[in-house]
Amino acid sequence: NAGVTQTPKFQVLKTGQSMTLQCAQDMNHNSMYWYRQDPGMGLRLIYYSASEGTTDKGEVPNGYNVSRLNKREFSLRLESAAPSQTSVYFCASSEETGGNQPQHFGDGTRLSIL
């Protein structure tokens, strides 16, 4: 029962390198999300996808792009990594959009940019 699976779990990049974080869910959820968590702060929404074929910006989208490849998969891309993007990244999914739907989270990807 995998739920939300994120790869990789850890990654170290040099400034300027690009990378794609992968996320897949097996719960047949329509909505998927990418968050980042910095020390001493709560999770902040980067991008979300309300349904297959749609994506929208969240609170902190600058420096990122996303792709909703299909219903299961939602990837996050850093085109030119910067030290300020050092963070823990979480992917989540929920059945539908709507204020009462709980979100299910992956294990997170710890990303360090030197």
Site residues for another protein per CB under 8 A: 3-4, 31, 33, 40-45, 48, 50, 56, 58, 90, 94, 96-107
Of 13 and 111, nearer to another protein (C-beta) is: 111
Any idea what DSSP says for residue 101?
Answer: P
Of 53 and 99, nearer to another protein (C-beta) is: 99
CB of 10 to another protein, least distance (A): 14
CB of 19 to another protein, least distance (A): 22
Any idea what DSSP says for residue 83?
Answer: G
- Bridge partners of 77, per DSSP, are 20, 65
Of 11 and 55, nearer to another protein (C-beta) is: 55
For residues 73 and 67, give the distance between their C-alpha atoms in angstroms, rounded to a whole number: 8
Strand order of the sheet with strand 74-78?
4-7, 19-25, 74-78, 64-68
